[in-house]
Structure 1
């Protein structure tokens, strides 16, 4: 599986380290033990697009966030460094038609 590092470009997943879902950390001073446990150990794992944190361990050695489709393992192109929005990633189907990230032909 090729993971699109925003700094190095696409790299084999063996060069990366998966760091889990990208979610906001709750405030420890106002979070109950049950909520804290859920944050630490319960992942959502939805069928569809999910923001994930990755570490480029064999390349630039930087952390980054990328969206991955949990069913197809398809990635949306990560945001450029300093930007907050992801760019759509086009994909070529078996027939050679160019498709957008929702799977429709363009």
Structure 2
């Protein structure tokens, strides 16, 4: 189980949180102008990164606030936690084969 350091409540068990998918994906400026295929790409196609990925999480059984997490998908190590709207921290990216 992961121990996630909520920026508002401190370290808590992963069971208190809900995963909100990949972070920093901008909503299309004119969604009505997108084709069905383009809209499907926006909604469903995400990177399946082997290594560091930026994610959104919500403390659903605590303060109920959203925040971002930089997590290594291979080791499950949480490298950084930062507020919504903030730029992601500069991180060393490991290369996995």
The 3-state SS of whatever aligns with 1:68 is strand
CA RMSD after TM alignment: 2.4
The answer to whether the 8 A contact 2:52-2:93 is kept is no
User: TM-score, normalising length from structure 1?
Assistant: 0.71
User: 1:15 is matched with which residue?
Assistant: 16
Runs of 4+, deviation exceeding 2 Å: 29-32, 79-88
User: TM-score, normalising length from structure 2?
Assistant: 0.76
Distance 1:30 1:17 in 2: 32
The answer to whether the 8 A contact 2:68-2:84 is kept is no
- In structure 2, the gaps of 5 or more residues are none
Deviations for 1:63-105, whole angstroms, at most 9, x for unmatched residues? 11111111111112212578534387xxxxxxxxxxxx667xx
Whichever structure has more helix as a proportion of its residues is 2
| Bigger RCO (CA 8 Å, 6+ sep) | 2
